[in-house]
């Protein structure tokens, strides 16, 4: 582990903005910055997750006009500064879905391969955090290129060559500073539900009455899925304006009534309990079946921002009790 003076790190980041698109916490949300003076956190984690960098809410796949098709090029390089370890893990999960051998997604991959993830340890996790349920933790570094730990005027930093080389000449010896206690305190403050075996349990719960019970309060607004760093459902549509046409990809949500509406008018998931079941099944049954990992990282956004207090930790606990 190394030590880096905060002021000097921010000066360096300001210089890097000439060559990189830099994203960082900007108050409530995560966004592109032009200067490090914009970096500000209103809470431990940001509301809009870093998935927007690699899977924007709206993006043009190509533009077209009378047979002339243009695919946008993207040669940008990205630094994602100050993401949380849970969000770094969520990006690793998105990689599994978009960077596949059979169906690689060039739009996602182009942005992702040119990115550097600098995660920041959570010294005081929020009451809604439960990353430890999924083998991660507030000081987990494995899914990021570097991990920084805030120590007041300086950060402790560890990472790979790609990330550390950004700060060449600024890294000092850490003087043997120990972070074990800090890490343990942060981990101990997190109350996570037990999830082990939930994937197998869910396999026989497709017709369980639990879905009606856990979805009763839901108003199907979709906030949980839009804010979720691992949710990646999208729709594709053609839009035209002023003689310009484009095919665009936009976020979609399995919580919306029309998500599975077919052209015939038939809708296999008309009832909201079926949609809640889909959301839970995807994260805790289908995802582990496909990728051997749960599709949730315990960031807590869906708990914090649900307008009617649907709490996925309580749903997990209820499933485990069946």
The structure tokens listed for 149 are: 């730990």
H-helix segments, the chain: 6-16, 51-54, 85-98, 106-113, 161-164, 180-188, 198-202, 210-215, 223-227, 272-281, 287-291, 301-305, 312-321
Interface mask toward ligand SF4 for 249-288; x: CB under 6 A:
------x---------------------------x-----
Verify binding: residue 300, ligand SF4, rule CB under 6 A: yes
Residues numbered 137-196 forming contacts with ligand SF4, rule: CB under 6 A: none
If one asks whether residue 9 binds ligand SF4 (CB under 6 A), the answer comes out as no
At how many degrees (to 10) do helices 272-281 and 312-321 cross? 80
Which of 50, 82, 125, 298 touches ligand SF4 (CB under 6 A)? Answer: 298
Q: Is residue 220 a contact residue for ligand SF4 (CB under 6 A)? A: yes
Contact segment (CB under 6 A) with ligand SF4 among 107-115, 178-186, 205-213, 308-316 equals 308-316
Shortest distance in whole angstroms from residue 226 CB to ligand SF4: 9
**Closest Cα partner for 89 from 299, 313, 311?**
299
Residue 50 and residue 23 in contact, taking contact as beta carbons nearer than 8 Å: yes
Told to check if 222 binds ligand SF4 by CB under 6 A, we report yes
Nearest approach, Cβ of residue 105 and ligand SF4 (Å): 20
Residues 24, 186, 190, 296: which binds ligand SF4 (CB under 6 A)? Answer: 296
Residues 101 and 138 sit within 8 Å (Cβ to Cβ): no
297 binds ligand SF4 (CB under 6 A): yes
Among the residue ranges 100-108, 235-243, 293-301, 314-322, the one whose residues contact ligand SF4 (CB under 6 A): 293-301
Distances (CA, A) of 253 to 179, 234, 258: 40, 7, 9
How far is the C-alpha of 124 from the C-alpha of 205, rounded, in Å? 36
d(CA 24, CA 78): 11
- C-beta of 151: minimal distance to ligand SF4 in Å? 27
230 binds ligand SF4 (CB under 6 A): yes
Report if residue 48 touches ligand SF4, rule: CB under 6 A: no
Residue 221 within binding range of ligand SF4, rule CB under 6 A: yes
DSSP state of 36: G
Residues within the interface to ligand SF4 (CB under 6 A) = 218-224, 227-230, 255, 283, 296-302, 306-308, 310, 312
């Amino acid at each position: 582990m190394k030590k880096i003076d905060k002021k000097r790190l921010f000066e360096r980041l300001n210089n890097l903005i000439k060559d990189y698109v830099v994203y960082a916490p900007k108050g409530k949300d995560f966004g592109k910055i032009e200067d490090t003076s914009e970096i500000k956190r209103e809470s431990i984690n940001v509301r809009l997750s870093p998935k927007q960098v690699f899977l924007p809410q709206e993006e043009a796949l190509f533009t077209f006009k009378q047979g002339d098709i243009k695919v946008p090029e993207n040669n940008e390089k990205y630094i994602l500064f100050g993401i949380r370890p849970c969000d770094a893990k969520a990006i690793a999960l998105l990689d599994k879905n978009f960077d596949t051998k059979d169906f690689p997604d060039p739009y996602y991959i182009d942005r992702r391969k040119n990115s550097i993830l600098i995660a920041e340890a959570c010294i005081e996790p929020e009451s809604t955090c439960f990353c430890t349920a999924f083998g991660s933790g507030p000081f987990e570094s494995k899914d990021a290129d570097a991990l920084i730990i805030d120590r007041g005027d300086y950060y402790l930093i560890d990472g790979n060559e790609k990330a550390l080389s950004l700060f060449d000449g600024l890294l000092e010896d850490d003087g043997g500073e120990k972070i074990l206690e800090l890490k343990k305190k942060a981990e101990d403050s997190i109350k996570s539900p037990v999830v082990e075996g939930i994937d197998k349990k869910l396999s026989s719960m497709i017709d369980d009455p639990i879905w009606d019970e856990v979805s009763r309060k839901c108003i199907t607004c979709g906030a949980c899925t839009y804010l979720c760093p691992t949710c990646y459902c999208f729709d594709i549509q053609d839009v035209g304006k002023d003689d310009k046409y484009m095919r665009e990809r936009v976020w979609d949500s399995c919580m919306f009534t029309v998500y599975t509406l077919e052209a015939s008018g038939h809708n296999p998931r008309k009832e909201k309990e079926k949609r809640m079941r889909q959301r839970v099944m995807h994260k805790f049954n289908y995802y582990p079946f496909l990728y051997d990992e749960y599709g949730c990282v315990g960031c807590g956004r869906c708990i914090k921002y649900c307008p009617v207090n649907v709490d996925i930790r309580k749903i997990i606990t209820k499933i485990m009790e069946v």
